[in-house]
């Protein structure tokens, strides 16, 4: 259950529904409960979506948007992404474990930032730093960083150049406590969105219910 003593301005995940057989293993149920206890920054809006089928016996998925304001049509989107939990009770050799986390983060950067030849390396450190900062125990991590420069012409010529950044990553969790993994992903989203880190000692709280 989320902390009920907190600011209603923030967003907390209230439910995650597994995709898989009705007889859900207790370990996977515990993993979903650990996600439900996570609180996020007010700029982050989490939503549940169907987990992917056929990749693993059990799965769950979330999407997120980092916006300049809470759910508002006029709010600008700073970053977006997807967080997927894959679970195989028997484990998979390629995962080297039972829980595999697959994530995606997308953000639009200014042209001068996107032109930095070290951007891919820097973006990957955002990922590794987010995991290390959350103190998660992971292994078999890997991923890709892609950037696409967009330049407008004709009637759209006045639009400034932009770079679309995409970070795809996956890693194996050591156990069913996935809360800190989701927090790390939230940190990565906010970093890609260009948000300043929260000051030391300041945490995001869940909404009143």
Q: What is the pLDDT of residue 117?
A: 77
- What is the enclosing helix (H) or strand (E) of 36? helix 26-36
> What local confidence, expressed as pLDDT, does residue 53 receive?
84
pLDDT tens per residue, range 130-158? 999 999 888 899 999 998 876 666 655 56
User: What are the domain boundaries of the chain?
Assistant: 26-193
Res. 10: pLDDT tops 80: no
**Residue 71: pLDDT over 80:** no
Q: Report the mean per-residue pLDDT for the chain.
A: 81
Number of H helices, E strands in the chain: 4, 8
- Token pair for 208: 């009143």
Model pLDDT, residue 108: 86
Total-model pTM = 0.80
Strand partners, 48: 62
Q: Is the Cβ–Cβ distance between 9 and 203 less than 8 Å?
A: no
pLDDT tens for each residue of 42-68: 889 899 999 998 899 999 999 999 987
Amino acid 109: pLDDT: 81
Q: How many CA atoms lie within 13 A of 105 on its CB side?
A: 29
pLDDT exceeds cutoff 80 at 205: no
Residue 145 has φ and ψ, to the nearest 5°, of -125, 125
* pLDDT 10s digits, 99-129: 999 999 999 887 667 667 788 999 999 999 9
- Which residues are bridge partners to 81 per DSSP? 64, 105
Mean pLDDT for the stretch of residues 4-10: 37
């Amino acid at each position: 259950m989320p902390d009920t003593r907190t600011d209603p301005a923030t967003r907390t995940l209230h439910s995650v529904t597994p995709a898989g057989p009705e007889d859900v293993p207790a370990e996977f149920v515990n993993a979903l409960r650990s996600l439900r206890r996570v609180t996020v920054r007010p700029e982050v809006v989490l939503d549940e979506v169907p987990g992917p089928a056929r990749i693993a016996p059990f799965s769950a998925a979330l999407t997120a948007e980092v916006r300049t304001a809470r759910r508002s049509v006029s709010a600008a989107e700073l970053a977006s992404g997807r967080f997927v939990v894959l679970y195989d009770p028997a484990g998979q050799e390629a995962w080297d474990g039972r829980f595999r986390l697959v994530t995606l983060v997308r953000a639009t950067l200014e042209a001068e930032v996107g032109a930095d030849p070290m951007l891919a390396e820097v973006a990957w450190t955002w990922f590794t730093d987010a995991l290390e900062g959350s103190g998660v125990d992971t292994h078999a991590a890997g991923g890709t960083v892609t950037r696409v420069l967009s330049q407008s012409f004709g009637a759209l010529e006045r639009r400034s150049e932009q770079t679309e950044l995409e970070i795809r990553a996956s890693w194996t969790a050591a156990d069913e406590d996935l809360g800190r993994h989701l927090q790390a992903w939230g940190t990565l989203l906010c970093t890609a969105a260009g948000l300043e880190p929260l000051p030391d000692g300041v945490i995001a709280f869940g909404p009143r219910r």
